[in-house]
Structures are given as structure tokens and as C-alpha cells.
Structure 1
């Protein structure tokens, strides 16, 4: 009797099928490294860029803040290595702060929240509860790793943010929406100014310590038009260092160094309201000052940064009439891609669920400043590139992270290829070109805003 071919023998077929199934379901698969400029998603999105809503004249502003400090025992967000996740003490309270700006028919609210980030479900709930549409709110977060968790239902979010609590997420969105609504009720005429400082001593490049970070420390200032000699009514401060000074061993509820900065700047400048927005955190870790405890070190860094702004704020010039331009862009994304190496990826069959197919960018011109909101941990190497492209435009670029969506770490293509790190592998969901792609779109939007 003829012998069966090898591929018909069960001892071969079953292992081969298992290998094939494993490759199909898990990988690795070859990765497509086609530059974004040659991709259809770029052409489709770039074609949607149009001149933004814009008006020039007297700026009016309104402010509100609401305490969102959770009870002790509530789980904290930011470190998957924190064990347990539950808070055990209170170092500093957490707030949502809302600043509404209006010129003519253009009105937008800037949000700064003492949260790790603001994800898409929370952002959508805030807009719905506020009766507003996408683009009416410019979302930012302080990126504190000591703030409340349990508001993210995505499986990856639960690893970092804690067990999802739908009722708490709804209450949090309601509090944020309440601050938005309150800030829009009573607007007063204001003048706008800008203070900046170069602050390299507050941060270090977390991907490559030998490379620069985006060292700009900025404060967008607002003072009452009828009280030009008074201290500023409000200040929006932004800086790049991760708000992780307290570290994963701390279970204290904390706004981390942004909390110390806010308190110190109020004290030293008399500014009535101070907000903080995380900047180019994607490749910036904080430089931790010496202190008795990590928590005290966080406060000390915030105070040190605040002190660097005192003189620039005192000498800042103010404009009575400004341009307010609001540009919101829906963005098509490349296919979700979880990298194994620079050229290999996990199977799309098992990873497609990780990220969305669409996100957005938000560009907001406020007089001398251009706020540029990105959906993730935006890296300083990209910020340096973008600021360089806009140099000479007459405005200062202030890139911010966590604009109401989250796509992971947004890094340069060079870092993706040359630095296989947490930021470029574990928390990179779209490959080497997402950061440069979003940077390109943001630059195009910025130039339209400056027309």
C-alpha cells in the first residue's frame, strides 16, 4: 500500500495548522513603512483643511473651576506598577478649570483638568452635557499621575487608570461640563499677553537623554481691560515635563508639580486664576529636585518653574484687540499597528480593536499665541520641528497634549526607528509616521489660521 504524503499525516498537519493560526492571529506580520505623504489617509484629511472660524477685536473672557478631588480609597491613574491602585492620603486637591474666550461670533472654552488625560468618551460626554459641539472646547490635561482614575473603559486604559466605574465617569464628565457651562455665563473684556521662559533644567529627554527637549515654559495671560494695573485675571501655563515626580510608590491624591506651580504663581504674581496644560510630554521626564519625599519634590519643581515665570509675567506686554481663530479638524488615521520591531508588527486580526480609525487636531489662535492640541503624548522633537516651521510668523506655538482623544505616544520617525523603547513600541499604536503626519497637518492648519 502506498504511503501517505507527509502533509496528510496528522502529526504534521496539526502543528502546521497551529503555527499558521498563531501567525494569522498573533504575528509577526511585515509592517508597511510607506511614508504618510504617499498614503490615502493623508490626502483625504489634508483636503479637508479650510480657513478657520476667525474674528478680531475686543476679547472677552470668563472663568470657572470645580473641585474634582476623589475620596481617599478611590483608585489613581497613571502607573500600572502602582500596587495597590487605591489612594491612601491627600497631598493636593484636583480641579477642572475652564476659561472661555470670545471675540465676535467666535467663542471657545479652554479646559485644563487635573487628570492623566481626557479620553474620547469623557470628551464626548462633556460636550453632550454642555450642549456644545466638537471644536467648541479645547481640551487639555495636566497629566498628573496622582489624579483620579476609574473613568476609562478601554482594556488598555484599565491597566493604567484602574477599574472602570461607569457611574464615576458620568459624574466626572458632569463636573467638567458644569465648569464649561459656568465659564460661559459672565464674560468680561480682557487684554491678552504672553510670557515665556527657557526652562531646560526642569526636564530631560526620556527616550534619549543626550537629546534636547522642547524647553519652552509659557504663560498665556489675561487681564481685565478696565484694570490694566491689576495682576492678571487668568494665566494658562504649559510645560513639557511628565507630571510623574511623586512616582509610582506614592498613593497620595496629587496634582503633582502642576499643583505646586499653580499655587506658587498665584502667590507670587497675584494672578487670580492659574491653569496648567501638559505640553510636549512624549519625550520629557521631570528633573526631580532634592527633597525629603517624592511628594515634596513634586511641589518644589512646580514652585521652581513658577518662579521662572515671575519676571516674564511682570514685563509682558498686553494687546487690547486680538484675533481669535478656532480650527478643528477630523483626521483619518493609518491602520492600527502594534510594532514588534521597526519592520514587524503584531497581527491586525488581534490588534485592530486597540485604536480608532479617526481622531482630530485642534488649533486655537489667541492673539500672540497658537495653541495646538494633539491626541496623545506629543513629543518635544516634533514640537521643536513644528515651532521651527512657524518661526517668524509673529505668534508663539504652544503645543499641548491630550486634546480629548488618546492615540498613545506621538514620536518622531527617527525615534521610532532608532530607539526601541516603551514610548516607541509598547505605547506606539500606529507606527513611525503618525507623529510626523499629525505634525504636518497641524502646520498646515496653523498657516491657515495665520492668514
Structure 2
């Protein structure tokens, strides 16, 4: 009897051992096909760089203006009639908002100078969802536009509508996917463009700038020395002969005054409060585009989230209100748009030390979406759009070239794709959220983006 028991134990032990060995072999095989070391080949030696440079050279020149710039503007309410996941803060894990604190909108400014029209679109969302960008590429001909002629951005509120991103990463960022949300946002963009097209008229153009450096701080400063951020509020004013005016406003403060634990409210955070006040006192219409927010946090002042938003937006609005009457406007006919398809290094999200996820796994859990850089010139103002949280530490590098070209430069984030954060290359090995968790496409992206954006600025 004891002998049989020993044999039974040996048999069980043998089975358990085989299972464990099989599990170990499976894990090792999975790691072998799922992980790879970081590729630190300089970007100038990579095929994607050569391809993007070729595309840059091939971008067409803009035709001569036939008229002075004309513009129209409008917005469309895209607030869902039902509750949705909240976009932003992965710790919420798809939690739904329950109270509409602010309605959310798609806003559009349509411009032309007698040639092919262009549109600036601002979304009251966390980012421009790649799914919405793909839908717009198919449907923009309905309003006589092409994707290449649309400059798009978002306010980056972490308390806006989610549900627009499939896949595991999309689930973490924006909650469970709902195709109806994608359709609703896309319909709203097209509706805003149609309404804007209906009130196009000649406009005069002006630029204003306000220092608000005291409203932001560098979130990666705790990891070591950093460079100055971009603390300027930038304003583009368009005014019709009727006196109607539009303000395009851009600033680099992260819209995170609603904290991660307060997901009950649908809100546009401080950009929404700011735009509402500007439309009451400074312009007939206003649109906000998040600037180079990639390493900035807002310096909040207040006891509750609502107080922080009111105080933050109120102080920015007060500074803008003092500046807007001083903006000098004039007629201009210069209008040009460039869209540069952007090649990238293989996906490089790091998981263990200097080991990264292989492309097949990244695309399986996130998706594979094209990315572009955008450049839009309106008179002597140039907007450069990036498909990421672009770091404000880069902005001062562009100042000499902007002065040389005699243009006012806006750099914005979230232009229709999303590739994570782009921060200075010197910080690549720092253990911060921005530089490690959210750097999805490897080393040297900072220098690569700067080079391509400066070339776009020269070309436009």
C-alpha cells in the first residue's frame, strides 16, 4: 500500500513538474517573441528618416492668393445624450461620468484666399481620437475638404467624453469602445464646418501674446534639471467688417484641474471656462488648442476642483481681456497648409530595463494609426501641429527661426494621431511617467521632431 502511495506521489510530482516546465518554456517563448532590446541607432541612419525627408521635399508649393483671406466660424454641440466613459486618467478604468458640468463642442474656423479652403478644428476632448481622424479622412469630402487641408487639435481635458478608442490601451485611457461616440464626434466636426462655411466673409488678422509662466510647472523637474517651458498664451484674432470676431487661443497648461479621483463630471476643465468667458467679453467666437503640454502641469489655486478651474481660467481671461484691445489687425492674403506623413521608429514601450515590447504586441493592444505633422500659415502666423503630448521645453528652440522668418509661431499637440509623449532626448532614461511609460517610439524622437518641424516652418 505504501509503495502504491509513493508511486502515486511520484506520478503527481512528475505531472506537476512537467506542467511547470511547460509553463516556463511557454513564458520564455512568449518573452522571446514579445520583447526586444531598445534600438538606439541614430535616427538619421534609419529608413523612416530617409522616407520622411523625401516626403518633405515632395510637398507642393502653395498657389498664389486670388483674394484676401476670408473666414467663417461655428461650433456644434457633441455632448452625448447618455453617460459615457470619461477620457483621461487610466486609474479610473473606464468609470462613467454622471453629471454634465459643461457641454462639449466641436469648433471650426474655415478659411480661404480663393484657392482650396482650409479648416482649423478644435475638439473639447482629451485628444483628437485616431478613430475620429480615420473617419474624417473618409467623410471630409462631404463638406468639400480633404484631410490634408484640416488642422485639428484638442483642449486635452481629462474629464471629457471617452469611449472612442478600441484595444487594451484605449480601454485604459478612454474606457470601453463605443463606435456611436466616434460617429457623433465626426458628425459634429462636419456640422461645425458646414455652419462655418455658411458665414465666410473677408477678415483682418492680428496676433497677441501674454506671459502666463506662473500658471505652469515642469512635471519632470523632480527627476533632475530641466529647461524652461513655454509659458506664453498665444492669440490669433480674426475680425470681419461687421465687427464679429474670432479668437484662436493656445496655451501649454495641462487641463488636469479636475483630479483623477473626481470622474463624476463631464467637463472641459479650465479651457472650457476660459473660452466661455472670452466669448462673453472679448470675441464673438473662441476656440482653444492645447499647446506644447508634454511635460507641464497647471499651478492650481483653490480648495475644490471647481474653484481651481474658475480661478485659473479667470486669471488667464483677465490677462487676455487686457491684451485683445491692443491687437493690431490688418488684411492679408497669405494662406498655406502642409501635411507631412511622419515615419517613426518601431514601437518602443519599455517594460523591463532596456527591453521593449515588439511591434506586433504593441499594435495588438493599441492599434496601428498613421501620424503626421501639420503646418498652417495664416498671414504671418504659423501653426505647427504634432501627434503627441509635445514638450514645452522644445519651444524656445524654434524662436530664432521664427524671428528670422518674421512669423508668430504656435505649436500645438494632438493633431489627429497619437504616439504618446515627445520629450527631450537627454531625459530618455529618466524614470518618469512622461519619459518612460509614455515614450512609445524610442530614443531621439525629440531631435527628429524638431528637425522635421523646423523644415516645415522653413518650407511654409
Confirm or deny a common fold (TM above 0.5).
Answer: yes
In 1, Cα distance between equivalents of 2:396 and 2:385: 15
| Counterpart residue number, 1:356 | 368
User: What secondary structure sits across from 1:281 in the alignment?
Assistant: coil
| Counterpart residue number, 2:273 | 260
C-alpha deviation, 1:374, in angstroms = 0.5
| Counterpart residue number, 1:430 | 441
**TM-score, structure 2 as length reference:** 0.88
Unaligned runs of 5+ in 2: 1-16
Structure 1 position 158 matched with structure 2 position 168: no
- Tell me the C-alpha RMSD between the 2 structures: 2.3
Structure 1 segment 237-252 matched on structure 2, within 5 A: 237-250=249-262, 251-252=264-265
In 1, Cα distance between equivalents of 2:83 and 2:111: 37
In 1, Cα distance between equivalents of 2:418 and 2:325: 36
Structure 1 segment 198-217 matched on structure 2, within 5 A: 198-208=211-221, 211=226, 212-217=228-233
Q: Which moved more, 1:238-247 or 1:147-156?
A: 147-156
2:378 to 366, 378, 395: 366
In 2, Cα distance between equivalents of 1:414 and 1:107: 40
In 2, Cα distance between equivalents of 1:369 and 1:247: 34
Aligned partners of 2:95 and 2:175 also within 8 Å? yes
| Counterpart residue number, 2:321 | 310
2:234 to 214, 218, 226: 218
Aligned partners of 2:75 and 2:107 also within 8 Å? yes
Q: Could you say if the C-alpha distance between residues 389 and 415 of structure 1 is closer, same or farther in structure 2, counting changes exceeding 3 Å?
A: farther
Aligned residue pairs total 433
User: What secondary structure sits across from 1:196 in the alignment?
Assistant: strand
User: What secondary structure sits across from 1:336 in the alignment?
Assistant: coil
In 2, Cα distance between equivalents of 1:348 and 1:266: 45
C-alpha deviation, 1:75, in angstroms = 2.0
2:33 to 6, 25, 29: 25
User: What secondary structure sits across from 1:391 in the alignment?
Assistant: helix
| Counterpart residue number, 1:6 | none
| Counterpart residue number, 2:133 | 123
Larger radius of gyration: 2
Aligned partners of 2:106 and 2:185 also within 8 Å? no
Aligned partners of 1:130 and 1:181 also within 8 Å? no
User: What are the Cα deviations for residues 205-258 of structure 1, in whole angstroms up to 9, with x where unaligned?
Assistant: 11225632111211110011x24xx4x510000001111101122221111000
Structure 1 position 41 matched with structure 2 position 52: no
Q: Could you say if the C-alpha distance between residues 99 and 15 of structure 1 is closer, same or farther in structure 2, counting changes exceeding 3 Å?
A: closer
Would you tell me which structure has more helix in proportion to its own residues? 2
Unaligned runs of 5+ in 1: 1-8
| Counterpart residue number, 2:288 | 276
C-alpha deviation, 1:348, in angstroms = 3.9
Structure 1 position 61 matched with structure 2 position 71: yes
User: What are the Cα deviations for residues 160-212 of structure 1, in whole angstroms up to 9, with x where unaligned?
Assistant: 11111112321221122211222223310000101111111111111225632
1:332 to 343, 348, 351: 343
Structure 1 position 294 matched with structure 2 position 296: no
